Amino acid sequence: DGGAQRPHVAILPTPGTGHLFPIAELAKLLVDRHGFTATIITFAESANKTQSNILASLPSAITTVVLPPVSLSDLPPDARIETRISLASARAVPSVRSVLLSLRSSTRLVAFVVDLFASPASEAALELSIPRYVFIPTNLQFLTLMLHFHSLHAATNLDFWQLPEPVRLPGFPPIPGQDILHPLQDRKNPCYKWMLEQARRYRESDGILVNSFDAIEEEAAKLLTGGDATGWPRVYPVGPLIRTRGASREEGAYCIRWLDEQPQGSVIYVSFGSAGTLSTEQLVELAMGLEASGQRFLWVLRSPSDANSAASYFTARSADDPLTYLPEGFLERTKGVGLVVASWAPQIEVLGHAATGGFLSHCGWNSTLESVVNGVPMIAWPLFAEQRMNAVMLVDGVGVALRVKGREDGVVERAEVARLVRELMEGERGKELRKRAKELEAAAAKALAEEDGSSSRALAAVAERWKKYG
């Protein structure tokens, strides 16, 4: 059937559903628009229901392979997540090699793509002389930091948070040291060495695809997409790659029905991603702040990070029921104005709903893109990973968000929450941010336009390059 002649790409995503979404979209585009077939290789450890749902929904031109489990039992229990993923990827080299060998004998394998922290596994492709590409599910700012990481590292003995001056990355507003990517903050942690190793793999790759688009990181896009003249591997901004539709769930339908009854643009959606949690104290401040703002809200509530602590043990609250952590009487007082849902909401549909007018977000990149493609301005409340850097860029660079300011100990007080929510939803600044969000919404649609969008052209360019390898 000629199937063996279609170019084939193998992709290895880092464990984590947030990574699989854009990878699935990328693979679908390669199949639909460029005649590829693809294999998505997954780690045994990352298997869960959401992941299997995503994988099961893929078209038949995309197959999946699960790697045999790797043991990380020699790692100390407090090893950071980036260390775990990096080591798992390094130890997966032999099994990745056999998958690639078998794909090479059955398909026209033209490239091996690793995402974010799976780059140590690209060693397998190097040994087999298969072109190595990296997919960055986050943005050009993250990539720029990683490309410059070695020289930033060599320039000082201090940790980033100790630097007296902000970090200047070409194409971006200055980033205060303490806002730099979390796993880069402690030189003595093994994870720091792994990040240097990841950065080296990026620089040595044959090309880098990024889930961003020209208009949101304009300067950097110009600087990085200049081809060989940049001195870096070729960079292809191919985003925004986001799910077009969330999974349908019961509680999801309920959120949407509630939104249907709210006035246009009146609701602020509050969510900290798939994993973000607050302390009990912070959760109470947020609740009181939302209430004091007088604005309508839809809040995805998760049990606090200290839910299993002695304190919560003695108050006999249940980590399984986040609602028990809300201040006394909160739900009654905010009835009709706010909706609190436990742990999960259909975010794509919520952000796309006409009633949603703002997003209080942890600044995860998927959430950011989902907000931007729906023209929704944000309040930036970053928690971990690269979220603080994202917040700097969204506030100082892109101009689509307000940032919360915490106390010395990091806690954001209720008055600050109320002030920012009002400002975003009703204030002058909010109007400007909304206008900017609408511009970006249009720019994102343009980037993805099949004929002449910048991201479509970037993907076509990398697809053409891959076809030549075959």
Active site residue 115: yes
Q: How far apart are CA 394 and CA 244, in angstroms?
A: 23
Q: Which listed residue (19, 148, 182, 353) is catalytic?
A: 19
Of the two residues 257 and 407, which places its CB atom closer to ligand UDP in the complex? 257
Nearest to 125 by CA among 35, 17, 242, 206: 206
In whole angstroms, the minimum distance from the beta carbon of 239 to ligand UDP comes to 12
In whole angstroms, the minimum distance from the beta carbon of 381 to ligand UDP comes to 12
3-state helix, strand, coil in the chain (%, to 5): 50, 15, 35
Active site residue 306: no
In whole angstroms, the minimum distance from the beta carbon of 109 to ligand UDP comes to 30
In whole angstroms, the minimum distance from the beta carbon of 41 to ligand UDP comes to 20
Of the two residues 22 and 289, which places its CB atom closer to ligand UDP in the complex? 22
Of the two residues 115 and 370, which places its CB atom closer to ligand UDP in the complex? 370
Written in H, E and C, the secondary structure of 280-303 is HHHHHHHHHHHHHHCCEEEEEECC
User: Which three-class secondary structure state does DSSP give residue 167?
Assistant: strand
Q: How far apart are CA 408 and CA 197, in angstroms?
A: 34
C-alpha torsion angle, residues 190, 195, 200, 203 (rounded to 10): 180
Which element (helix H / strand E) includes 404? none
| Cis peptide upstream of residue 22 (ω within 30 degrees of 0) | no
Estimate to the nearest angstrom the gap between the alpha carbon of 207 and the chain centroid.
Answer: 20
Of the two residues 158 and 253, which places its CB atom closer to ligand UDP in the complex? 253
Of the two residues 108 and 182, which places its CB atom closer to ligand UDP in the complex? 182
**Of all residues in this chain, which one has the CB nearest to ligand UDP in the complex?**
364
Q: Which listed residue (32, 34, 78, 115) is catalytic?
A: 115
In whole angstroms, the minimum distance from the beta carbon of 371 to ligand UDP comes to 9
Sites of contact with ligand UDP (CB under 6 A): 18, 21, 246, 271, 273-276, 300, 344-345, 347-348, 364-367, 370
Contact 386, 138 (CB under 8 A): yes
Look up residue 418 and give its two tokens: 């109320």
Of the two residues 39 and 368, which places its CB atom closer to ligand UDP in the complex? 368
Opening angle at CA 166, ends 157 and 213, nearest 5: 115
Q: How far apart are CA 192 and CA 187, in angstroms?
A: 6
DSSP-derived secondary structure for 387-416? HHHHHHIIIIII--EEE----TTSPPPHHH
In whole angstroms, the minimum distance from the beta carbon of 206 to ligand UDP comes to 26
Q: Which residues are catalytic?
A: 19, 115
